[in-house]
Structure 1
Amino acid sequence: MAAATTSDIRSEPVAARGAVLSMALCVALLIASEFMPVSLLTPMAQGLHASTGQTGQAISISRLFAVTASMLMTTAAGKLNRKSVLIATTALMLLSLVPVAAAPNFAVLMIGRALLGICIGGSWALATAVIMRLVPEGDVPRALALMYGGHAIATAFAAPIGSYLGGIFGWRAVFWALIPLVAGNLLWHMVALPSLPAGQRQNFRMMFALLKRPYFLRGLVAAMLSWGSAFTMFTYLRPFLEQVTKVDVTTLSILLLVLGCAGFAGTWAAGRYVSGNVAALLRVPVLFMGGCTLGLLLLGNSVIAAGVFLALWGAMNTAMSVIWMTWMSQNAADVSEAAGSLMVAAIQASILMGAMAGGLLLDSLTVAATFAGSVALAGLAVALIGTGHRLLKPVLP
């Protein structure tokens, strides 16, 4: 499919690399915009006169709209050039930051986060399918790793820098600072992305047909459990570190930096070693991440132990994205946009439910209950994935 529709891109590898890097920056800014409330959760709650659990729903609301956008984007976009669609979603990300930064109350914050959710869903729904068109099939895992390197960069630097600058200038200044960066990425998209004419028109019938493939449906559920486990914990990491590990803002920033920098190692390893049959790798990230969360529950009062567990968790978190999207590209290549929409919707829904459940557990019980819920979801994911072979497309004789 890719070679037939993108021969012009194949003859311009430098342009393809620039396009992948532009996508990587977009991912970095999406992650930074999306998860900045994690590092600023406590001051945002105080500034908006809301509870910590309620403010955590700022992530949930963006996920709610991301689920809807991811399901609708590839069908609503119809025959529109995918370059134009990606430029439009990046422009929407720019627009969404203004009401968040200027929010006089919790309601306005939610409006901005809802707009961001539309951008998240639309961008992620197309991202893997676009990468599959930009590079040869054998280079897809490396290109995905490069794109998710943007994820690692944002995780490494956005949270600790946001936490540190938020402590000095206030949380609103952090969101204002993102606006010129997104504007620059918008201009880069215009220059670097090649024309990406729409292929086969997508519709909901194709998505439903894909869900009838048992291996793909099983994979979707396993992915949901994996991401749900991760973000039940990650959304409320700051309250845990403040209440259990007893860190100050400086130590919190250092721990978040450790977590994020480990993400580079996870992305590098995934790009280097993920190839061929990924069945054996599917359960590795959630197994280790669940173990790290359990370790935090048992030993989280130690700053050193917390740093070690967060480093391993961060490496596995970025590797998880590359592994699962490689699985999708290998097992649903014939309907890549429909598969991308379903994968993104499933992941966004799981993060939404994880953040909501974690917030409820935090407000009604303790942050330890939130982390225990994350461990339980990880266990379910590992059990469902098993060896991973039941999640692979059957080989026709």
Structure 2
Amino acid sequence: MAAVTTANDRRPAAAWGAVLSMALCVSMLIASEFMPVSLLTPMAAGLNATEGQTGQAISVSGLFAIAASVLVTTAAGRLNRKWVLVGLTALMLASLVLVASAPNFAVLMLGRALLGVCIGGFWALATAVIMRLVPAADVPRALALMYGGQAIAAAFAAPIGSYLGDLMGWRAVFWALVPIVAVNLAWHLISLPSLPARGEQDVRGMIGLLARPYFRRGLLAAMLSWGSAFTMFTYLRPFLEQVTGADVAVLSTLLLLLGCAGFLGTWAAGRFVTDNVAPLLKLPAIVMGGCTLGLLLIGGSVVAAGLFLAIWGVMNTAMSVIWMTWMSRTVDDAPEAAGSLMVAAIQASILLGAVLGGLLLDGFSITATFAGSVALAALAAMLIGGGRSLLKPN
């Protein structure tokens, strides 16, 4: 799907400035969504809740993201996609203000619910919009650039959040994100070209996609892969504190290492992910599940924990590019409907991962949480196999 100029949809052949604006939005979304991971302990104490309960601040955003991802592309109807993205970014801004000023747990959850709407809506449209901003041959590179925002957030949000949260309190960390999102909102207004809706979207299109066995199988495999990742990642701080014995300085260093490794993952994905994506689909589950198993076995060593987290971080950012490239190539005839379903599946897996991990943590131990993550990764790898069954028949 080439990025061509039409009478109703005028833009340059490749709108890289708009891609960068979307990359910043990704960075802010990831930072906003997963900041509670690095602040879980102080947030729980400040809100008089358990760590398992506070972990549900991630799951509630996932719950609303699921609903939004399915509804936004249909509810937006024939609205220009530029203004839908601008509106969603404004909603993220409102969410951050609510979370930062939350007087109690209920208001925190309300703010997280609004963030979930933004997350679901943005991701449902993101790949389809990227496919319109650049020529088809540049889509993997543009996706890697957009997901570079994920690497930036992973590299700096968690360690900076952990460090600043210890110095200034967790609320100050969320307030610090507010002006950055305001700048991003202005950048959207300037850089995004007009993106008129391309026909009405409805639920029938999504049902039609689910009737395709290869897409249905890929959707389930993606859910298991992300579910495994976030069963572990949501509760990483308690593991590092309880098992590795990390204090705030070591914790921030380990989170920074994990995040910086994401830049390598983004670079590698942009360079090596091509149309032949089938052999790569099971790599995230195998590599990330193996790292989680390694943490279970020898995570008491700071050096070993750092090594496994670095490898996990590389694959974490590559995973998004791998699966979204699969989607753009396998269902290129219905990118918005496919994007809605992919985001709903991924957010459902994040929600379930946070819930499962929290239940295992509160009911058993942090070791049980990480063991659950490994089990989900193994199921994903078995389902994917060689990857050919997840591709559109020729």
Tell me the TM-score range normalised by the shorter chain. over 0.9
Asked if the contact 1:65/1:121 (under 8 Å) is kept, the reply is yes
Match of 2:169 in 1: 170
Deviation at 1:329, TM superposition (A): 0.1
1:206-258 per-position Cα deviation (integer Å, ceiling 9, x unaligned): 00000000000000000000000000000000000000000000100000000
Amino acid across the alignment from 2:167: I
**Paired residues, what number?**
393
Deviation at 1:11, TM superposition (A): 3.4
Asked if the contact 1:128/1:340 (under 8 Å) is kept, the reply is yes
Deviation at 1:12, TM superposition (A): 5.2
Match of 1:76 in 2: 75
Give the distance between the partners of 2:371 and 2:184, measured in 1 at CA: 39
Match of 1:320 in 2: 319
Give the distance between the partners of 1:4 and 1:188, measured in 2 at CA: 22
Asked if the contact 2:227/2:376 (under 8 Å) is kept, the reply is yes
TM-score, normalised relative to structure 1 = 0.98
Give the distance between the partners of 1:254 and 1:4, measured in 2 at CA: 45
Q: Secondary structure at the match of 1:334?
A: coil
Match of 1:11 in 2: 12
Give the distance between the partners of 1:374 and 1:6, measured in 2 at CA: 47
Asked if the contact 1:10/1:135 (under 8 Å) is kept, the reply is no
In structure 2, the CA distance between the partners of 1:177 and 1:377, relative to structure 1 (3 Å rule), is same
Amino acid across the alignment from 2:289: G
Asked if the contact 2:3/2:133 (under 8 Å) is kept, the reply is no
Match of 1:107 in 2: 106
Asked if the contact 2:4/2:12 (under 8 Å) is kept, the reply is no
Deviation at 1:6, TM superposition (A): 5.6
Gaps of 5+ in 2: none
Deviation at 1:285, TM superposition (A): 1.2
1:323-363 per-position Cα deviation (integer Å, ceiling 9, x unaligned): 00000000000000000000000000011001000000000
In structure 2, the CA distance between the partners of 1:10 and 1:184, relative to structure 1 (3 Å rule), is closer
Give the distance between the partners of 2:238 and 2:351, measured in 1 at CA: 18
Amino acid across the alignment from 1:377: L
Match of 2:192 in 1: 193
Give yes or no for the alignment of 1:225 onto 2:224. Answer: yes
Asked if the contact 2:13/2:135 (under 8 Å) is kept, the reply is no
Q: Secondary structure at the match of 1:164?
A: helix
Match of 1:269 in 2: 268
Deviation at 1:5, TM superposition (A): 6.3
Deviation at 1:103, TM superposition (A): 1.0
Match of 1:329 in 2: 328
Amino acid across the alignment from 1:268: W
Match of 2:91 in 1: 92
Give the distance between the partners of 1:34 and 1:184, measured in 2 at CA: 18
Asked if the contact 2:13/2:133 (under 8 Å) is kept, the reply is no
User: Structure 1 runs of 4+ off > 2 angstroms?
Assistant: 1-13
Amino acid across the alignment from 2:353: G
Asked if the contact 1:227/1:351 (under 8 Å) is kept, the reply is yes
- 1:356-375 matched pairs, under 5 angstroms: 356-375=355-374
Match of 1:59 in 2: 58
Amino acid across the alignment from 1:330: R
Amino acid across the alignment from 2:340: S
Match of 1:384 in 2: 383
Give the distance between the partners of 1:312 and 1:119, measured in 2 at CA: 30
Give the distance between the partners of 1:340 and 1:302, measured in 2 at CA: 40
Asked if the contact 1:74/1:338 (under 8 Å) is kept, the reply is yes
1:140-194 per-position Cα deviation (integer Å, ceiling 9, x unaligned): 0000000000000000000000000000000000001110000000000000000
TM-score, normalised relative to structure 2 = 0.98
1:17-73 per-position Cα deviation (integer Å, ceiling 9, x unaligned): 100000000000000000000000000000000000000000000000000000000
- 1:186-265 matched pairs, under 5 angstroms: 186-265=185-264
Q: Secondary structure at the match of 1:195?
A: coil
Give the distance between the partners of 1:199 and 1:6, measured in 2 at CA: 12
Deviation at 1:286, TM superposition (A): 1.2
Give the distance between the partners of 2:128 and 2:18, measured in 1 at CA: 13
Give the distance between the partners of 1:6 and 1:272, measured in 2 at CA: 30
Q: Secondary structure at the match of 1:182?
A: helix
Match of 1:338 in 2: 337
Deviation at 1:200, TM superposition (A): 1.9
Give the distance between the partners of 2:114 and 2:89, measured in 1 at CA: 11
Match of 2:302 in 1: 303
Q: CA RMSD in A?
A: 1.1
Identity, in percent, stands at: 75
Give the distance between the partners of 1:343 and 1:276, measured in 2 at CA: 19
